Amino acid sequence: DSGVTQTPKHLITATGQRVTLRCSPRSGDLSVYWYQQSLDQGLQFLIQYYNGEERAKGNILERFSAQQFPDLHSELNLSSLELGDSALYFCASSASDVGTIGNIQYFGAGTRLSVL
């Protein structure tokens, strides 16, 4: 168990809908990262938050947004869902910022999103 908790485990929804994925980082970790994993694309970095502030953006669509709350948990919001958004969404956390020497990301078990 990595200590990173993601809910829900599975989500089935229809095109055009909006969903929220939740992540609780390991105790004491300040950074939260969101990744999307699909069969043909591998693990794609979406966005990082560090202590409540957006730190880095990757290949995140404008329909997607995230935030990190004062208690350090994070939510990823996906709206106007399309069939191609079906994927595994992972949250990872680390104690420090990504560039820090020794920074290690620990992953949650993921949320499997199916858009029908």
Partner 1 sequence: QKEVEQDPGPLSVPEGAIVSLNCTYSNSAFQYFMWYRQYSRKGPELLMYTYSSGNKEDGRFTAQVDKSSKYISLFIRDSQPSDSATYLCAMKNTDKLIFGTGTRLQVFP
Regarding 56 and contact with partner 1 (CB under 8 A), the answer is yes
Stretch that binds partner 1, among 18-26, 60-68, 75-83, 91-99 (CB under 8 A): 91-99
- Asked if 98 touches partner 1 (CB under 8 A), the answer is yes
Buried b (16+ CB within 10 A) or exposed e, 50-74: beeeebeeeebeeebebebeeebbb
Tell whether residue 25 is a contact of partner 1 (CB under 8 A): no
d(CA 37, CA 46): 10
If one asks whether residue 109 binds partner 1 (CB under 8 A), the answer comes out as yes
How far is CA 6 from its chain centroid? 9
Q: Is there binding between residue 105 and partner 1 (CB under 8 A)?
A: yes
Strand, coil or helix: 100: coil
CB of 87 to partner 1, least distance (A): 13
CB nearer partner 1, residue 77 or residue 100: 100
Cβ-contact 92, 35 below 8 angstroms: yes
Which residues here bind partner 1, judged by CB under 8 A? 2, 4, 33, 41-43, 45, 56, 58, 90, 92, 98-99, 101, 103-110, 112
